Amino acid sequence: MAPMKPPKRLQALIEEGLIDTVVRQLMSGKEATVYVVRCGEDTRCAKVYKEATERSFRQAVDYTENRKVKNSRQARAMAKGTKFGREASEAAWQSAEVDALYRLAAAGVRVPKPYNFCDGVLLMELVTDEAGDAAPRLNDVLFTAEEARTHHASLLGEVVRMLTAGVVHGDLSEFNILLSHDGPVIIDLPQAVDAAGNNHAQRMLLRDVNNLRDFFGGFAPDLLSTQFGPEIWDLYQRGALLVDTPLTGHHERKAGPVDLGGVLREIDDARAEDAARRLRMQQAG
């Protein structure tokens, strides 16, 4: 395949010698466009983040809570939504994904290996299938019940490994997990949150795990009754969660006063998540 004309945002990386040629566009979403690129003998991918004005939903307070910025001027500008503030917010989002990717790769989580970050472009490993082509997303693959159980167990292990590294993905679903030649690989981390420093981390962790349960439960209905999310979070809160901690899928909810406000927030969050999921499905179609 002949190389394509390099997009303007990638030209700088060619001039810097970080990439040699741009092969093709791999995918385009609301937050970024991803290209297949050649670096010497290697084929990699370049994630080009879109400008703040082009992007969609990532500025939610839940995700940005406790996210570090360089100084109080940036924080004030981000809160006011000034042009400088939007640029600072954009830099924080990009930095969050890059930081999370390096942190999780170092912890042994199955994420694409990061190579470089330059001028709003993240250069990383291209996840491939058995034929060496770009790996499909889970939502584009059909599974047997046994395959579904195997991949579900594997991904629960990755969620646990992420949590022991102090990270919650925050938007994990079949739309941002690739099926490589040797199993699932987790992608898209700009919304990752610090498990200990974000008050919404528990809800996000439960939602991530429930998304996995619901998707794989479509192929293996016995998974639909499992309660891995509450079990994982309970172990984490008690300081008892290790990478190899055995999980049962059962969890006894402790009796106590009902937090009505919390319940209503959960309902609102579920509605928002369903709307986001429908939007992603439309874009994927």
pTM listed for this prediction: 0.77
- The mean pLDDT of 141-168, rounded to a whole number, is 97
pLDDT for residue 58: 45
In the chain, at which residue ranges do the beta strands (DSSP E only) sit? 21-28, 32-39, 42-49, 114-118, 121-125, 167-168, 177-180, 183-186, 193-194
- For the ranges 8-22, 42-56, 99-113, 134-148, which has the lowest average pLDDT? 42-56
Would you say residue 108 has pLDDT above 50?
Answer: yes
Gap between the Cα atoms of 129 and 280, Å rounded? 23
Whether 20 is catalytic is: no
Angle 197-200-203 (CA atoms, 0-180°, nearest 5)?
A: 130
Phi-psi region of 284 (alpha: psi -120 to 50; beta: other; left: phi over 0): alpha
Catalytic residue (choose from 42, 119, 171, 244): 171
Question: Which one is predicted more confidently, 55 or 45?
Answer: 45
Nearest to 192 by CA among 96, 91, 269: 96
Q: Position 73: which residue type? A: R
Catalytic pick from 188, 208, 214, 274? Answer: 188
Residue 281's pLDDT is what?
55
Q: Could you tell me which residues come within 8 angstroms of residue 112 by beta carbon, excluding any fewer than 6 positions away? A: 45, 101, 124, 125, 126, 127, 185, 187
Least confident residue range of 68-77, 190-199, 242-251: 68-77
Q: Mean per-residue pLDDT for 195-221?
A: 95
Q: What is the mean pLDDT of residues 39-45?
A: 94
**Residue entry with tokens 């994990």:** 172
Q: Cβ of 166: how many Cβ atoms within 10 Å? A: 16
Query: Distance of CA 62 to CAs 5, 112, 208, 257, Å?
Result: 39, 25, 15, 24
Q: Which domains does the chain have, with CATH numbers?
A: 8-254 (1.10.510.10)
Active site residue 188: yes
225 closest CA partner among 274, 152, 137? 152
